[in-house]
Structure 1
Amino acid sequence: MRRDLLASFVVFLVALPLSLGIAVASGAPVAAGLIAAVVGGVVAGALGGSPLQVSGPAAGLTVIVFSLVQEYGWRATCTITLLAGALQLALGAARVARAALAISPAVVHGMLAGIGAVIVLAQVHVVLGGSPQESSLTDLRELPGQIAAPHAHTTLLGGLTILILLCWNRLPRRGRFGTALRLVPGPLPAIAVATATAWALGWETARVDLPGTLLEDWAPPVLPHGPPGGIIAAVGSVGVVAAVASLLCAVAVDRMRPAGVPRSDLDKDLRAQGVANMVSGFLGGLPIASVIVRSTANLQAGARTRLSSVLHGVWVLVLALACGPIIEQIPLSALAALLVVLGCRLMDLAHVRDLRHHREAPAYFATLGGVVVLGLGKGVLLGIGVMALLALRRLTTLSVRAEQLVPSPDDGPAPPRWHVVVQGTFTFLGVPKVTRLLQQIPTGGNVDLDLNVDFMDHAAFDAVHQWRIAHERQGGRVDIDEVHEAWYERAVTGDDTPPSKTPPQTPWWAPWSDRRNADSASAAEPPPASDLLLAGVRRYHDSTAPLVRPIMAELAMEQKPQNLFITCVDSRVVPNIITASGPGDLFINRNVGNLVPRHGAYPADDAVMATVEYAVEVLGIRTITVCGHANCGAMAALLAGGTEVKHLHHLSRWLEHGLHSIARFLESDAAKGENPLPHLCKINVIQQLDNLTTHPWLGHRVESGEIELVGLYLDLPTANVEVLDRATGTFAPVPDEAPAGDRQDTPTPS
């Protein structure tokens, strides 16, 4: 109850200014934003399937609502909201919630970025003292004139609001004062200071116009007038966009939920969103969706049940009824400035970097541009179309390469030998490309043909098979090796059983000893280590190198790792396996005990911090991970007081950097009744993260949020990885994987 009560008040502080700003930007009455916040909190919070999710008016629906208000009027828009809620209720009853997640993240993020651009272009006019135009292109065309003739007081208030919003998260967060600041979201002081400044200086500027009570001007919703097709499209756009936003938010919240909180029931949550939109539309409120900004604030404030969401709606209702005169002092330019910052956050280009790796950035930019130029519905359809073309292109992408192998002098006279690799999806569309290359191979040569394909249709098989027959008839030899499934072999033998992806007896990442036991179990004695090493290299050349060669060629001139990974030299810890990462992802520093020397530590050692400095300053890495593991020999040596390694002089000096971990271990009371070695291994991870912050240049960046620190612990017996919750100092299982949600702000991982 205490946690939920505090969290509800924090969410209320976030929701109030956002609800007012979204209502103004939507062209709706200001009271509509407050009604939607109340209904979203109380109704959706009480009935929803995601206990920590917070619903209310969402910036992502602003563009849709504004166009509906302009075309049909406000009361008819309320009817469309009500019908959209009924549509969501029907979809939830049909249990099709997960189908909405099939929309590509490239389209979703592009849609949000486009909405952000539309919001910024419109609200900048309000910040400068003008009014939004009828379209984004007109907003852009009229912007230079608006900038040339701004309203001084209005513009200053908007600029003050933006300045406070940008600086709030950079204030110090240490001590009691810093803890109190963390509980106050930036929009509240920004709006409060702008309001107080306008009131104290007596500036003339447009302010919020709030009715005496929320339902003072209430009237029943009216039916929209217009072509039935347009009305149906409007209902569908509101219902589907709100549903997708809510479902993606629920999935994102699931990823961040603390231990003990149940996973979201997406169908139940969709039904709750439908009921809430029906109630909001009937009462004259904005459309409702789950909002990641409020949900993240709810999580970070420590909420544990749905009570927090319900209470936040109650606080909005109480304030709207009791503090109307205060709300009416809020300048509209301050709310517009708040939405400008929010719109810029929606245009998070960090998504482009992730999408570029999967070659989906064109769909992102197509959706963004389409939303700005054509409108939301057409923009999303354009993005889906581009995504479909990209998927079709992948299905027909085929690479073919051939090289003549240089014969060894020991082989004597031998026919020329060629190595041909066909990679991708081999259909009739790729037949001309493959046959053209195969026909260039001289007759009489030996050909090693690697079919690294995930599918081969009959036309492709027939082309390869007929060429093989002709080539061998003229004295050549063809050896076909299929890297994945045996498409060619099954076609030759007439085997019509479904292809099965049977893994090799020993995977590529298995230890040498496992492969040796599987391949040569009868050997009298193990081969030398150098032979094992070279055998591993040969296996890499045969199976793995052809697969990673395109990636390595792309990375050959530049590396762009995402994470600095500091871990132990222990041979059982393989960072790329436990993080499912590949070449170019991790910038790895390994040392005995995954230690990080403190600033000014003795004996001095710059090796680790040289790696950190290069990672941050040159490579631009913004996430540093320290990963410990069970049964760490370095920690065992520290527990034994260093007696077992005192004859190893270099190692003994290095382990002096772990004395702070031992001191922290002795001060903790969690070791009572617990095996001391794993407890010290975990405490050591926490201590090394703290050691990083002792270096002034790095500690400042961590405090400002520019650098993120992550702690991991690998439990060797179970092969499970746990993640550190720095707030509680405990390790917990990594949440189940789920696609990212409809983000308006980046949540901070543990």
Structure 2
Amino acid sequence: MTNLFGENLKYDLKSSLVVFLVALPLCLGIAIASGAPPMSGLIAGIVGGIVVGAFSGSHVSVSGPAAGLTVVVLDSISSLGTFELFLACVVVAGLIQFGLGLLKAGVLGYYFPHSVIKGMLTAIGLILILKQIPHALGYDKDTMGDVAFQQADSQNTFSEIWNAILNFSPGAIPIVLIALGFILLFEKPKIKNHRIFGLVPGALLAVVSGIIINQMYGLWIPSWQLNGDHLVSIPVVDQISDLKGLITFPEFGLIMTSEFWIIAVTIAVIASIETLLCLDAGDKMDPFKRISPSSKELMAQGIGNTVSGLIGGLPITAVIVRTSANINSGARTKLSAILHGILLLVLVVGIANILNLIPLSCLAAVLFVVGYKLAKPSLFINEYQKGWNQFIPFLATVLAILFTDLLIGIGIGMVIGIFFVIRTNYQKAVLVTEMGGNYLVKLQKDVSFLNKAPLMKELAEIPSGSTVILNALKVRFIDHDIREVLNDFIESADEKNITIILEGFNYNLKRVL
């Protein structure tokens, strides 16, 4: 796994092509949904791939403009007045993230409940499928980067699907079906593992087929040909001097105001949370089960956001859609993320005219497959089999993200997930077993003040003349309130003729008050 240019290169190059095809429309869509120049999304994608990829300690995560920050970016640009002032906030947000990394704040990422992470992945998969249905039908009124349930045009996810059914473009349907056919065909083990065919990603053939079919429409069925909003739209660079006009530099005129710092801190905090969630999810999906250094990732993201803001790019986070596409396409090392950034840079600058021929309907086919792999029906069955303590937080997270947006949904999922974690620990922290008139009071791992009431109730019900074993062999921590309850019980034992036997206590309970 350490040889970047050996046996891993063919896997990383193939996956980088797929991630490029996934990232291209999302970079543009997120920028448009954010009220920012389209090029700002592409710059963020390029920086996220090359710069963050170079400094990241993750083998599989891919960074770029974040859909979760769309509303924040839109509101911030509006309140600050110009895009240039907003870019200065992105630069400072990157410096704040770098500082959080130095302070080892990434450790917070290890405390997200497993059920919430699984719910987030599944919800993203469902959203990808639902949001791509209009594009698959050739109804492209909404951008590909808008993942919120309630859209900017007052429509929602389901009403947009209904509008697409009523106003579909007939030419889009053969394109998406043939594109899906290519992708699924190249997922077959015989082709995927073939010495030659296995080197070509099905997504690339899907895109090529989409371009060819749409051009053939122009010759044979002009009314079916997709144009305008139905195609990818990238600024075209005809000569080197045009590049200067695509780059915007930040303006720090409001850096001494409270509004500037509120926006910068907000971007840093939200981008860090989204990154840590994605990092944890990516590690869980990684077939090699590698663990990414979370604090180092925050530093890499900080560097990326600082660079992105300096040259006119949107805020960057690790992005679960690209990360999952990267893993599912067979990426082995972070070279895949870097190569996808290079592809964005080279192809956007070099062959924008060709990329602008890509129908959004064939890119929808690529995202359909990514979404399905994240939200397979078997995932719901597996989570259900783990019990209600896992399934309810999982399902709540899925529904909350589906009907609100990513950040609000994760917040709701976290609250419900933490509730069930506390509930489970509350139930299992103290076990009382009766054996022929003798009682075993077993304290498990951590016993906090939350267990005070049930412990007092259990001890009060022990009859006179009993022998009670207080067992703390598995305890790592006993809260002061619990020690007081145990002391009171021991001190009153003589009055009830109760014999106390202590096991595993490394201190004298009666002296700990």
State the secondary structure of the residue aligned to 1:256. coil
Written as runs of structure 1 = structure 2, the 5 A alignment for 1:636-647 is: none
- CA offset at residue 14 of structure 1? 1.7
Match of 2:483 among 441, 458, 471: 458
Partner in structure 1 of residue 344 of structure 2: 316
Paired residues of 1:195 and 1:330 also in contact (CA < 8 A) = yes
- CA offset at residue 326 of structure 1? 1.6
Taking a change above 3 Å as real, the CA distance of residues 163 and 106 of structure 1, as seen in their structure-2 partners, is: same
Paired residues of 1:435 and 1:463 also in contact (CA < 8 A) = no
Match of 1:283 among 299, 311, 321: 311
State the secondary structure of the residue aligned to 1:396. helix
Written as runs of structure 1 = structure 2, the 5 A alignment for 1:107-256 is: 107-128=116-137, 129-132=139-142, 135-137=148-150, 138-173=156-191, 178-202=194-218, 203-205=224-226, 206-213=230-237, 215=243, 216-221=245-250, 231-232=263-264, 234-245=266-277, 247-248=279-280, 256=288
Taking a change above 3 Å as real, the CA distance of residues 301 and 197 of structure 1, as seen in their structure-2 partners, is: same
Distance of 1:288 and 1:448 partners within structure 2: 59
Q: Does 1:89 align with 2:105?
A: no
- CA offset at residue 18 of structure 1? 1.1
Structure label with greater radius of gyration: 1
Structure 1 portions without partners, runs of 5+: 406-416, 497-750
Taking a change above 3 Å as real, the CA distance of residues 285 and 160 of structure 1, as seen in their structure-2 partners, is: farther
Written as runs of structure 1 = structure 2, the 5 A alignment for 1:237-386 is: 237-245=269-277, 247-248=279-280, 256=288, 267-290=295-318, 292-293=323-324, 296=327, 300=330, 310-347=338-375, 350=379, 353=382, 356=386, 359-386=389-416
State the secondary structure of the residue aligned to 1:21. helix
Q: What is the TM-score when the length of structure 1 is the normalising length?
A: 0.52
- CA offset at residue 167 of structure 1? 4.3
Distance of 2:328 and 2:122 partners within structure 1: 21
- CA offset at residue 49 of structure 1? 4.1
Distance of 2:396 and 2:313 partners within structure 1: 32
Matched AA of 2:69: I
Distance of 2:130 and 2:325 partners within structure 1: 24
Q: Does 1:17 align with 2:24?
A: no
Distance of 1:344 and 1:79 partners within structure 2: 38
Structure 2 portions without partners, runs of 5+: 151-155, 219-223
- CA offset at residue 147 of structure 1? 3.1
Paired residues of 1:96 and 1:267 also in contact (CA < 8 A) = yes
State the secondary structure of the residue aligned to 2:231. coil
Partner in structure 1 of residue 153 of structure 2: none
- CA offset at residue 9 of structure 1? 3.1
Q: What is the TM-score when the length of structure 2 is the normalising length?
A: 0.73
Deviations 1:22-70 (A, max 9, x none): 12442536544543343233323444445x4564426xx3243366347
Taking a change above 3 Å as real, the CA distance of residues 248 and 130 of structure 1, as seen in their structure-2 partners, is: same
Distance of 1:70 and 1:192 partners within structure 2: 38
Distance of 1:297 and 1:126 partners within structure 2: 23
State the secondary structure of the residue aligned to 2:201. coil
Distance of 2:435 and 2:375 partners within structure 1: 49
Taking a change above 3 Å as real, the CA distance of residues 284 and 113 of structure 1, as seen in their structure-2 partners, is: farther
Paired residues of 2:57 and 2:293 also in contact (CA < 8 A) = yes
Written as runs of structure 1 = structure 2, the 5 A alignment for 1:228-627 is: 231-232=263-264, 234-245=266-277, 247-248=279-280, 256=288, 267-290=295-318, 292-293=323-324, 296=327, 300=330, 310-347=338-375, 350=379, 353=382, 356=386, 359-397=389-427, 405=436, 417=437, 424=444, 425=447, 427-435=451-459, 437-439=461-463, 446-447=466-467, 449=469, 451=471, 454=475, 455=478, 457-462=482-487, 464-465=489-490, 468-472=493-497, 478=499, 480=501, 482=503, 485-486=504-505, 490-492=508-510, 494=511
- CA offset at residue 265 of structure 1? 5.8
- CA offset at residue 254 of structure 1? 8.8
Distance of 2:456 and 2:351 partners within structure 1: 74
Matched AA of 1:65: T
Distance of 1:79 and 1:336 partners within structure 2: 34
State the secondary structure of the residue aligned to 2:171. helix
Distance of 2:336 and 2:294 partners within structure 1: 19
Task: Work out the percentage of aligned pairs sharing the same amino acid.
Answer: 21
State the secondary structure of the residue aligned to 1:131. coil
- CA offset at residue 229 of structure 1? 8.1
Paired residues of 1:366 and 1:383 also in contact (CA < 8 A) = yes
Partner in structure 2 of residue 544 of structure 1: none
Match of 2:70 among 62, 65, 74: 65
Matched AA of 1:368: V
Deviations 1:700-736 (A, max 9, x none): xxxxxxxxxxxxxxxxxxxxxxxxxxxxxxxxxxxxx
Count of residue pairs the alignment pairs up: 461
Taking a change above 3 Å as real, the CA distance of residues 271 and 332 of structure 1, as seen in their structure-2 partners, is: same
Distance of 1:119 and 1:63 partners within structure 2: 14
Higher relative contact order (CA 8 A, sep 6+): 2
Matched AA of 1:350: L
Deviations 1:77-109 (A, max 9, x none): 655544432222222333433343333333333
- CA offset at residue 208 of structure 1? 1.0
Written as runs of structure 1 = structure 2, the 5 A alignment for 1:726-741 is: none
State the secondary structure of the residue aligned to 1:26. helix
Matched AA of 1:57: G
Paired residues of 2:14 and 2:201 also in contact (CA < 8 A) = yes
Matched AA of 1:458: R
Distance of 1:351 and 1:393 partners within structure 2: 22
Distance of 1:350 and 1:102 partners within structure 2: 22
Distance of 2:381 and 2:266 partners within structure 1: 30
- CA offset at residue 16 of structure 1? 1.9
Distance of 2:372 and 2:87 partners within structure 1: 28
